[in-house]
Amino acid sequence: MRLKFGSVPVCPGAPQAGYIGEAEQDVPMQGHGEHFVNGSAGLTWSCALAKMAKDPKNKALFPHPVVEAFFTGKTTCYIMTGQKHKGVFIYIKYAHDYGVQLDMNDAGLSQRLAKEDPKVFEQEFILRVPPKKKRKIGTPKGRRASSPRKKASRVYGATARALAAGLITEAKAREMKSSMNQYERQRLASIMSTKKSA
């Protein structure tokens, strides 16, 4: 498996450095009402789907160890294997289609629903091999290369989940995004300087 050094947004405003490998096979997990009853709102490592991945029966289905699971956004999951490469933890990246369930978890809806009717969540949940990124060639239609549009500033991933669950304020979310951007700039500068000196 090819590993790439990067940052994993496991906590709001606190990305963790790690070696990231992409999953090579889908993993079907069995959901139970207890995962959703006990799912913590807005926490990437303690939501219903993270608890599901760490359930002993589901852990046994992964082709690698599962120490911790982080559902960092509506389509992405990272599994911390506990193994290290060059002294840094290895994470395996998976894709998923359970953004609706994460939104319900973070709003406290799935916890209430699971108490009323736990059988609703007794179904298969599949973590998938991440799709290959398509390379963009040329300039998008309707846009001129000389006048790029500025992207709207928004929070995403772990920070967006914490904000939706009411664990942090919008001001704190913006502050965290700013600190994450600064971290990424420093990390990239460090990588570039290492490449130049090599």
Cα–Cα distances (Å) from 56 to 59, 60, 61, 87, 187, in that order, read 5, 6, 9, 27, 36
**Residue 142 confidence (pLDDT):** 54
**Residue 147 confidence (pLDDT):** 47
The low-confidence residues of the chain, meaning pLDDT below 50, are: 145-147, 150-152
Within a domain: 46: yes
Within a domain: 49: yes
Q: Whole domain around residue 97: which residue ranges?
A: 3-127
What's the rounded Cα separation, in Å, for the pair 180 and 34? 34
**Residue 150 confidence (pLDDT):** 47
Count of structural domains, the chain: 1
C-alpha count within 13 angstroms, C-beta hemisphere, residue 82: 5
